[in-house]
């Protein structure tokens, strides 16, 4: 079945550091790929998405590129802020059928001032 | 525009009991999905309702059931509760239940504890 594997956490960085959170997937066909973020005490929010190979999703300084050849969708940000502290989930959605999201296990990110 | 709301916020039940969780979808959305998120894990898809019909189901037993109403709000029912059912239950609403790349908007969740 389809699956998503995320970089093990937790990740702790200093403010203004460069961030990479790795995400790889296994899927048949051509899934859509997503990054969701869960801030403390809040629900999941869509951060960015990409729907086909070589698409780049971007939002709030975060970027991720859909790489079909390496089945990856790594999340990057050039300069993190304390307010980026949250849990980040990589997810995929199969083409067709139900909008079933398959999530990775999440990566907890803490940014220190 | 009102977002996705869920009730109750927290719930404590004992093993063997039954529970009903409720979700109001975002205005204009016709699709509701339910997910179970165990502590420290990613959400797991339970099922989805699209225009009042079940439109897909994850690997959950039949004691997990649901409904979607004409106003597109939804209920999740769990019978014969087990300790492992303790989790955060998330509801998400979206448009067009068969379009895989449409954004799902999540509610804050219901925290269920089974003793």
Contact A91 B42 (CB under 8 A): yes
- B4, B55, B105: residue with CB nearest A98: B55
Query: Which candidate, A98, A90, A96, places its Cα nearest to that of A26?
Result: A90
Residue B53, CA atoms < 13 Å, CB-side half-sphere: 6
Chain B residues closer than 8 Å to A49 by CB: 101, 103
- Count other Cβ atoms within 10 Å, centred on residue A104: 25
Query: Which candidate, A64, A36, A68, A61, places its Cα nearest to that of A50?
Result: A64
Chain B residues closer than 8 Å to A44 by CB: 43, 90, 92, 106
Contact B48 A96 (CB under 8 A): no
C-alpha–C-alpha distance, residues B89 and B109, integer Å: 5
| In contact, A86 and A46? CB cutoff 8 Å | no
- Among A44, A88, A108, most B C-beta atoms within 10 A, so best to mutate, is A44
- B4, B43, B97: residue with CB nearest A99: B97
- Count other Cβ atoms within 10 Å, centred on residue A60: 12
From residue B44, alpha-carbon distances to A64, A91, B34, B70 in Å are 23, 11, 9, 26
Instruction: Tell me what pLDDT residue B91 has.
Output: 96
C-alpha–C-alpha distance, residues B3 and B25, integer Å: 7
Instruction: Tell me what pLDDT residue B1 has.
Output: 59
Strand partners, A3: A26
Strand partners, A107: A88
C-alpha–C-alpha distance, residues A39 and A44, integer Å: 8
- A32, A36, A105: residue with CB nearest B100: A32
The residue that leads in pLDDT, A42 or B69, is: B69
Q: How do residues B5-59 score in pLDDT, each as one tens digit?
A: 999 999 999 999 999 999 999 988 899 999 999 998 999 999 999 889 998 899 9
The residue that leads in pLDDT, A40 or A34, is: A34
- Residue B96 pLDDT > 80: no
Contact A51 B107 (CB under 8 A): no
Confidence band, pLDDT 50/70/90 cuts, at residue A96: low
β-pairing verdict for B74-78 and A101-103: unpaired
């Amino acid at each position: 079945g389809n699956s998503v594997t995320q970089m093990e956490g937790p990740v702790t960085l200093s403010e203004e550091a460069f961030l990479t959170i790795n995400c790889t997937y296994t899927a048949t066909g051509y899934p859509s790929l997503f990054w969701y973020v869960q801030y403390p005490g809040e629900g999941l929010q869509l951060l960015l998405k990409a729907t086909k190979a070589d698409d780049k999703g971007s939002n709030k300084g975060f970027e991720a590129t859909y790489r079909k050849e390496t089945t990856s969708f790594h999340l990057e940000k050039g300069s993190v802020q304390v307010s980026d502290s949250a849990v980040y989930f990589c997810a995929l959605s199969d083409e067709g059928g139900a909008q079933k999201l398959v999530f990775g296990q999440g990566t907890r990110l803490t940014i220190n001032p | 525009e009102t977002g996705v709301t869920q009730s109750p916020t927290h719930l404590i039940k004992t093993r063997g009991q039954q529970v009903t969780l409720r979700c109001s979808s975002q205005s204009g959305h016709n699709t509701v999905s339910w997910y179970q998120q165990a502590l420290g894990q990613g959400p797991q898809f339970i099922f989805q309702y699209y225009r009042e019909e079940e439109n897909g189901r994850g690997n959950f037993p039949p004691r997990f059931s649901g409904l979607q109403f004409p106003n597109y709000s939804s209920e999740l029912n769990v019978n014969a509760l087990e300790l492992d059912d303790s989790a955060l239950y998330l509801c998400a609403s979206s448009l067009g239940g068969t379009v895989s790349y449409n954004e799902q908007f999540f509610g804050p969740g219901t925290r269920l504890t089974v003793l």
